[in-house]
Structure 1
Amino acid sequence: MTIAVGNIEYQLGTHPTKGCGFSYSANELNCALADKVKDVVFDTAGQKQIINILAETGFSKDDIEKNLVPFTTTPEDWRVGEGIAECYLSEHRQCFFPWPDSRDERKIGSSLPGADLVGFQTIGNDIYFAYGEVKTSSEAKYPPGVMVGRSGLQSQIEDLKDNDITKRTLMNYLALRCKGKSWESYFKNAAQNFLKCSKNIRIFGILIRDVPPNDKDLKNRINNLAKTQYPETHIELLALYLPNQSISQLSNKVMQYKNGGVV
């Protein structure tokens, strides 16, 4: 296990719209950052592919590495929050996100339109498109401001749930990247389920916090989403409570772990 499941603090709602809040100890957080989260944040797999391709130019590995931005750029705290969310869904919700959005950036630190996490969830023998929206907040109120408003988590989840154009655009995004990849069969299976019914997807809303757990973060959001739920659309909101005031240290910690240090 590369990232702990955490201690469950509260559970809300019922299938197909539900929520859960759980807390992390300092040790659990550090272990996650030092392992899988680090690799996700810096796209270690993608960097290795780039190095192998550029090695064909005849330049040395050192010359190539110093020209790769992720080796020298410190990530934003919210970017690390997205990495934690991705690792958690991969480890504990049978999800797979094959194409990091950092590979589509035209400017370092930019936040691309569309869902933060785009991939698949395996349930039994079936595979479904899975989309995740992630918010990271240290705000000392419940819920934090990132949950509400037009750019808030609830609004983004509702768009994924109700907007067929958004869902088709995300399917096309994966379609253009899957050909010849090891996950092409995942896409075909998920596409079959989606084309039968456009509501047949999985949606995750993940809130990264560093304040004491409180179900007020998710309770109203779960209730509102449940009012217009579709049986085919599975929605889960997750609140991950990190140790107090730890979000501001996420960037520095993951950078130190990447450079071989111990925090």
Structure 2
Amino acid sequence: MKGTKPRVLVLRSSENLAETCAELRKASIECIPVEAIRAEAVAQEGRLMRSMIASADYVIFTSKNSIAFSKSYFSGVYAGHKFLTCGISTKTFAEESGFRVSYAPKTGGINAVIKWLKAKRPGPVLCISGESSSNDFLQVLLRGFTVIEVGVYRIKRLRPKIPAEAITGISHVLFFSSAEVDVFRDAVASHNGLDFDSVSAVCIGRKTFERAAAIFRKPVLSRQNGIAGAIEAIKNG
């Protein structure tokens, strides 16, 4: 409700929870933090990974985790690559990690990246993502491109206990991934009588939005990816 300080339940990974809540509090948004998921490395064969990187013209990072768990393989093989990220916060993290990003959409995620690529000269594409991510459609949509996808991390869904009193009176729930929606659903399943019809689910990304729509009556899709888009959506709704 406008004029009332938002009270937001935030379900994030252990790596991002503190930073997200700090940004929300700077914006005068009350934050209830819940560690919902954890990223774990998937072992890669170093020589093969470096070979795939060296042969690529375009490298897509789908998330900050895809950068964090792969950047050690990039030493000495940056030259000539065009790095693409599926969002602004991922772009920021990529640049902080030493990558020069050629394109990062404010909205649209991987679909916006595909659209950008289709206007470019075809070449080898390396998509670095999570192990469970499925971007098989990349090869279909990017005709003329050779696409290789590597999963460098996996998401572990945690089982947090969210007491009913902690979520009484919340105005929003903030989700950055569909995995966080799943954790929320399972965590609140035992809270009989809680009415979430009056709670807005603020979602980053179309897939997250679609998953939240199965639980919430009025999920909101952020107009841009990242924390800035989340804050805008919370304050507007």
Instruction: Give TM-score scaled by structure 1 length.
Output: 0.24
Greater helix fraction, Structure 1 or Structure 2: 1
Greater strand fraction, Structure 1 or Structure 2: 2
Instruction: Give TM-score scaled by structure 2 length.
Output: 0.27
